Amino acid sequence: MGHRVKLAIHWAARVTTLGAALMAALAFMVIVLGLALGPTSNLYPVGPLQRLSSEHPGGKAFVRNPELSDEFEILQASGVFEIVSADQASKVVELHPRKVAPVCGNPLLLTWATNGLVPATVPIRSTFSFALEEDGVVSEQHFVLEAECRVSPVQYVFKPFRKDTRTLGAILASEYARGQQ
């Protein structure tokens, strides 16, 4: 009987060691995936998006200040304007820096306390604006981009290689379409 107890203890120790090794390997893989998929997005639109009525409904436009790279990428991703050179454009767009409203961190407390096991959703609200010049007339355009940011290590596995600019571009296109109705 002593031999059986020793054998059972030996197997239990092996299984426990194997389980710990598997858990460590899984944790390592999650960390590596999180680092490898760094530029992923966990930003989602709030509610359904409306499609543009046609491709580039704003027409051809020249962007005066493409050095605002995030805003420029969002405008390009939206498809509202066909971005062309100055000599081909009937409109000139001057981008303004996007203004992001402050975010309350309370939903993140449970996520932090559980090391990401319980995901959090944080509302993100920003204002995308630009000056649109057409035939010497300048008008200011303002669009509120509402999204939610889901915070969880698992989010990075499900949405690999996506940038926030694509999501924000889709939201901008939807807001533009709503404004045209």
More confident residue, 113 or 78: 78
Tell me the percentage of the chain whose pLDDT exceeds 70.
Answer: 71
Q: Which pLDDT value is given to residue 5?
A: 61
Same domain membership, residue 113 and residue 82: yes
Same domain membership, residue 97 and residue 27: no
CATH label of the domain that carries residue 142 = 3.30.160
Mean pLDDT computed over every residue of the chain: 81
Same domain membership, residue 50 and residue 28: no
Pick the range with the lowest mean pLDDT from 34-43, 109-118, 144-153, 157-166: 34-43
pTM of the complete model beyond 0.85: no
Same domain membership, residue 49 and residue 30: no
More confident residue, 97 or 9: 97
Domain that holds residue 32: 1-36
Same domain membership, residue 30 and residue 64: no
- Give the Cα separation of 67 and 95 in Å (integer): 9
Same domain membership, residue 47 and residue 28: no
Q: Which pLDDT value is given to residue 96?
A: 96
Cβ within 8 Å of residue 175, ≥6 positions away: 143, 144, 145
How many Cα neighbours within 13 Å face the side chain of 87?
0
33-71 pLDDT, tens digit per residue, is 554 544 344 788 988 998 888 888 889 999 999 999 899
Q: Which pLDDT value is given to residue 103?
A: 85
- Give the Cα separation of 3 and 11 in Å (integer): 12
- Give the Cα separation of 111 and 113 in Å (integer): 5
Rounded mean pLDDT of 166-177?
92
pLDDT above 50 for 104: yes
Rounded mean pLDDT of 118-139?
90
